[in-house]
Amino acid sequence: MKKGIHPSYKPVVFKDFSCDFAVLTRSTIKTTETIAWEDGKTYPLVRLEISSGSHPFFTGKQKLLDSAGRVEKFNKKYAKTAK
């Protein structure tokens, strides 16, 4: 690899503050915030709005839609009128 053209690949903590879910992984993202991790070391911090800890699909709190009712509503609205 050429020197000086690649971004630094370092450990970073991604944290979703809405559900207190955090994961330590490696990334090239740049951030100014830091956080103390469970191992006692300080890592750069990236704040997340949504993660697998708070997303309805992953938490099982997903709302199911009534698709049969939607089809009936569509047919009623756009049905051809008899002349």
User: Considering the domain boundaries, does residue 1 fall inside one?
Assistant: no
Across 7-16, 29-38, 50-59, least confident range: 50-59
- Which residues 6+ apart lie within 8 Å of 31 measured at CB? 12, 44, 45, 46
User: Considering the domain boundaries, does residue 24 fall inside one?
Assistant: yes
User: Considering the domain boundaries, does residue 41 fall inside one?
Assistant: yes
For residue 56, the surrounding DSSP H or E stretch is helix 56-59
User: Considering the domain boundaries, does residue 20 fall inside one?
Assistant: yes
User: Considering the domain boundaries, does residue 23 fall inside one?
Assistant: yes
User: Considering the domain boundaries, does residue 3 fall inside one?
Assistant: no
In terms of residue numbers, what domain contains 73? 10-78
User: Considering the domain boundaries, does residue 37 fall inside one?
Assistant: yes
User: Considering the domain boundaries, does residue 5 fall inside one?
Assistant: no
The structural domain count of the chain equals 1
Q: Collapsing DSSP states into helix, strand and coil, what is residue 40?
A: coil
Q: Express each pLDDT in 40-65 by its tens digit.
A: 999 999 988 777 666 655 556 655 55
Backbone angles phi, psi at 8, to 5 degrees: -75, 135
Evaluate whether 24 touches 11 at the Cβ level (below 8 Å).
yes
